[in-house]
Amino acid sequence: MRIANRAKRVNPFRVMDVMARAQAREAAGLPVIHLEVGEPDFGTCEAIRAAGIAALQSGQTAYTGATGLPELRERIAAFYAAHHGVTVDPSRIIITPGASGALVLLSQLLLSPGDEVLMPDPSYPCNRNFVTLAGASTTLLPMAGSGRAAPDIEQLNAHLQTRNHSNKDTTLAGLWLASPVNPTGAIISKEEMHDLACWCRKHNCHLLMDEIYHGLDFRVSQGACQRMGDLPSVLTVDAEALVVNSFSKYFGMTGWRIGWMVLPENLVERATVLAQNLFISASTPAQYAALRAFDSDVIDQLEVQRQVFRQRRDFLREALPSAGLELAWQPDGAFYCYVDISRYDNDCERFCGRILDQYGVAITPGTDFGDNQANRYARIAYTRPVEELESAVEQITQALQAIRV
């Protein structure tokens, strides 16, 4: 049967291949320490699970409206007001099947064949594929060696100048960013966001910010940090920016597939039509469960988990360089360390395969996240207990010593 050309242009999600390989190793009775997948190990907290069960038991299983439960949209709007000090009309919020559902919808809403989207390299790989499926193209702007989470204005202007000289027959449509960044853990400051928003307005392109790792940031000391994170939303500098968020990471609801997006008012009507056609509505029980996620007692538990992630980050930030793997970016947020493996191998996929097959530690090759010097890097997720991280570092240390020999 014939496969569409656009489907052929979609790159594989390599982390899923690593996970499958690790699971095959486990099925053969061999141990694996899973540091490949970006999924919190705590599971969904009991109060949220109970709310989902209660929704099922009370028969809340019909479709909601395409934009989601009104009370959940209102709760999210209240969060932006209380936590970020910005007013968001609930009508601008659309509940989606995870952040991925929002990104698929937005790519179809905002992009046309011949459009160009700018993204940093490295960045989350699926975003490039969503752009491809919309018939548009992605230009990756290298971040290697900069320590930054996003391109600066000088780099953006240089790209425009090169683009103009090459007579590239595309239309600059948008700048897609994330803070914190998967895979590096780097963060975009409020000042940087302001400058980037101004640049996008000047050049008549949209700014999309992926904020799914908000709440998992560690630059502010543990005693001084505020609940649900210390990062500013892009909405604090640009009310017209597009925001994607999710209940997966901070809230620990990965398998529930529930997220949201915040849109400018003029996009809501057409986005609603696309939502009706693409997914009808997000899962109804998941939406009722997500309502419970904002309650104070739940946030108390999530903040305890956040500090556990901080402790894991602190351990790896010291242990990995001591083992011989330098941090390519400072891991200020999310739950990843992005390490430079180039002293040991010039092929990160081969390196990660060796670490898994011979030492039982699953990590993700940098080729999942970009093109620029990608073979220099690997991503390590600190989504396992410190005891397992200690064992993983011991195994990795043995591997590196063997490679040196």
Comparing CA positions, the residue from 128, 177, 151 lying closest to residue 368 is 128
Q: Which domain holds residue 103?
A: 46-295
What is the helix (H) or strand (E) element at residue 221, kind and residue range? none
pLDDT at 167: 63
Query: What pLDDT is recorded for position 320?
Result: 98
* One-letter amino acid of 193: M
List pLDDT tens digits, range 224-255: 788 999 999 999 999 999 999 999 999 999 99
Is the separation of the CB atoms in 118 and 174 below 8 Å?
yes
pLDDT tier for residue 29 given thresholds of 50, 70 and 90: very high
Q: What is the mean pLDDT of residues 32-41?
A: 94
List residues bridging with 378 in a β-sheet.
339, 365
Write down which residue in 295, 312, 334 finishes a domain: 295
Percent of the chain with pLDDT over 90: 91
d(CA 192, CA 154): 12
The model's pLDDT over 373-386, given as tens digits with 9 standing for 90+, comes to 999 999 999 999 99
**pTM, rounded to two decimals:** 0.96
Least confident of 33-47, 73-87, 165-179: 165-179
Do 102 and 39 fall into the same domain? Answer: no
**For residues 146 and 188, is the Cβ–Cβ distance under 8 A?**
no
Q: What CATH number should be reported for the domain holding residue 190? A: 3.40.640.10
Residue 205 has pLDDT above 80, yes or no: yes
β-pairing verdict for 259-262 and 361-362? unpaired
Q: Which tens digit of pLDDT belongs to each residue from 158-198? A: 999 987 767 677 899 999 999 999 999 999 999 999 999 99
Q: Which 8-state DSSP code applies to residue 333?
A: B
Residues 280-305, mean pLDDT to the nearest whole number = 97
Among 295, 328, 348, which residue terminates a domain?
A: 295
One domain, residues 172 and 259: yes
In the chain, how many domains are there? 2
Token pair for 361: 């530690």
